[in-house]
Amino acid sequence: MTDFGLRLRMIVVGTILFAFYLAAGTFAAAMLGLPLIPVLAVGILVVPALQYKLGKWLATRKAEEIPEGATGRYGEVRQTTLDLAREMDVPEPTVMKMRMGVPNAFAVGRKGAGVVCVSEELVALLDRDELEGVIAHELAHIKNRDVVTMVIGQSIGMIVGYVAYFAVLMGGERNIGSFILAMVASSLANALVMVFVLAISRYREYVADSDAKDVIGTGDPLARALEKISRGAEGRDSELDETMSALCIFNSERGLLEKVFATHPPMEKRVERLRE
């Protein structure tokens, strides 16, 4: 079910991100006077793993697992998730609920250790078939492994940003101007890396929508869900950390700069594709 276009993007972007990492690691080793191979080895093996573990913990630290035997709407959510996971050949994920301030849902983790989390606001808002569409969308992210790619991409962006910061800071005088310039260089370096991560982020949403449509048999329930989520988020503040926005099914980017660096395609286009 994994889309060939998504696979190709993940390979190309992964190669570019690895090149960024090699450049940052080489520069960092030179600055610190450390041997290159150990620096790169630690960065490749340790930093992404820590970022993955930390990201998963941060995403779910306020969530509560929906236990086996749960009744009512949450019992339906858990059973629907497990049924869809079997149908989509995804190892049984942990199913969680959480107050997010807005109707939303996200998936974190990898196949075999995935988590699907729905907001209490989402469960209260959507009909059963609409929830099914949202859950299928989140399971598609786990199946396609794009969540892991996003986390690693963000990790490399963080590393490149830190290296740029210290490179500027160590290359000049220690004054307020140097600190400001270092912060700007760090932000620009991180933004450059994230441009390539966004090449996956927007496309992966279309793929997950399409996968959910194939599993459910129609795209209308998910289309209706996206419309309800969009309306339900109006005038409400999300309680999620800003770094989590890329992992959620819906992210409302309002400003011009936010739209340029949007993690999600426009909701209207997603709905149009689902109803084609």
**Phi/psi of residue 238, each to 5°?**
-75, 140
Sheet with 64-65: list strands edge to edge: 64-65, 94-98, 115-119, 105-108
Is residue 138 annotated as a catalytic residue, yes or no?
A: yes
Catalytic residue among 121, 130, 132, 138: 138
Q: Please calculate the CA angle 201-78-225 and round it to the nearest 5 degrees.
A: 50
**Phi/psi of residue 88, each to 5°?**
-95, 5
* Cβ-proximal residues to 1 (8 Å cutoff; 6+ apart), any chain: 88, 140, 143, 144, 211, 214
Kindly list the catalytic residues: 138
